[in-house]
Structure 1
């Protein structure tokens, strides 16, 4: 009887009754669904990692259960197991699709996060759902990687990955494609748009004497590398008129053409010194970088801001520069006081009026003298002299 009592007590210590589980669940705080969904194919091993695994320690316990049944996943079962705080399904079936809840708790703490698993049938119709998108640029070479295999790789120095493109095996003697030994990478030579498509990578995995095949599908998209535009500075003008004591903004406007992307850098200098060092007090500063479009043409702009303009700025050499991977251009500008030109501008039209009036008077006087001297006969016309 004493031994039977010990067996019953020990069994109850490792068994969570439905009522106890419900009570514990009421106290447990839900963190919602994990952002990552596991999309796998049937008849292959699946490993679901608990997002709260870093919390697990000797002071915490971790358990898994399906959200539908609420039944706990035991540490060891024929097809579902918990290893290193992760849930292993060996192999996965379409009926395993659903929500799995990982719970981390101790005497005073309980948190749970749900993880979504969707198991698809191995058909071409499933490719858009189970494929991993990877992007390459048209270039002399590029790499793609066989993803999410770390749980099945025990010895990183002994990794053998088989690669396929459109169901055709890419052998090791292929000059175009080469699987890099000891890695999960595939090297592609002379990458072009024609290399776009579905790639499949696979490896063999042995667990408890059972051999499994693990595959991943990758959707590769190759993009043409856009040529870097040659930037052209279209402003500022060579001379900027302003008034002392006023606030002034001089934009450095750079034309990029029809290209929407550019690695160009625009900056200002004052007497061959960057603006920040030339004006540590912040009276003259560079404004924020801005990109925009006008009439389907693209520009970038960095303004130079004076707050305010002082007399020493009239003798300063300001320079806007733009650098790209293919060129460097510089444009200089100077600040002039507008009042220095105001009298000349105002007198210019007045001088013209005086010249015209003087010309008319001289014309009349010369004409009058010519009439008296030579006694020319006046021809009467229908127009009066002016």
Structure 2
């Protein structure tokens, strides 16, 4: 009985504390498995750096990575190639894997493994390198939803691992070859210190933007680029012009009369053709629910997923993205500490589901009351949900832990005292049957 109570207390304390030990993680081949990282999509011929932030965070939280720790990055299950070293086109540098440059043949899954005498932990990340001629802009891009009239100041996303050369980051629109001059208008946008600037967004600003830079690695320059798709919602302000009488015909619902047809009475008749266009339904966000508050401990990781329901024929053209305080993740203060990606489309009975992950690697005090928005939009409309981040009160958590521990301790003491001072029962009297006869 006492042993059972003590085991219950030992199992209950870690779960109440909210910091799961390694035991809840799934295992495979004797190693604990960390949730997969957000997949990386890149173009061949450019420098690519693979990092494992979620994997490293697990090691840091559980304090199982001493200075002598050995990290091994392999491709697939480790049978497709040996360990990478600090030389050659593909190099392992600390906990990262560098491709200088990447090739289409590098596409695949990569495993980062930490192993010592006590623990074995593995994490994975998927890399897809497209050939330049077959690059899919929709998959490679970072979708940025904005509204008409909004002031946009956008940084080139996911460049924190690169040291740029003296040449600034260049922005191009719709595969243009001539970059805008710094601080001056080029076509419909500006750039200043490597940032894309649009003082007042208009419908004409929608399109594909590419930022390019030359990264300096080991005294050698490598190309690095990112693609951003700007989706503009709203109507431009009406411009007043001189009134002109015009006639507008809607080709979708009506057509011009055919004067060549006449009735038997000699009168000209008109024929109209009605074209029925299937109505596209706007996307519906299934999760998370609006106004939900997500709590997490200081220093812990948080993973969110936005699930959107849409018609399957419009799934490819439905944009789903996360915003941080009404800014893109790459332009917000969470840049470098939060990753979004892993878009996945699956079929369902009522349509298609689109899922997009958002991973906050480390929660800090700065994240208190941060507003996150999941935005989904297509040609038929737009929907968004708003959630907030909060830090879990560690003081109250430890009070609960202390209360549970004290309760378990008192239970153990009570059982011990009961067993020790258990009152002895009265001695039973022995009874026996005697034979009775008439003479007694």
**TM-score, length-normalised on structure 2?**
0.42
Between Structure 1 and Structure 2, the one with more helix by share is 1
Between 1 and 2, higher relative CO (CA 8 Å, sep ≥ 6) is seen in: 2
Which structure has the larger Rg?
Answer: 1
Between Structure 1 and Structure 2, the one with more strand by share is 1
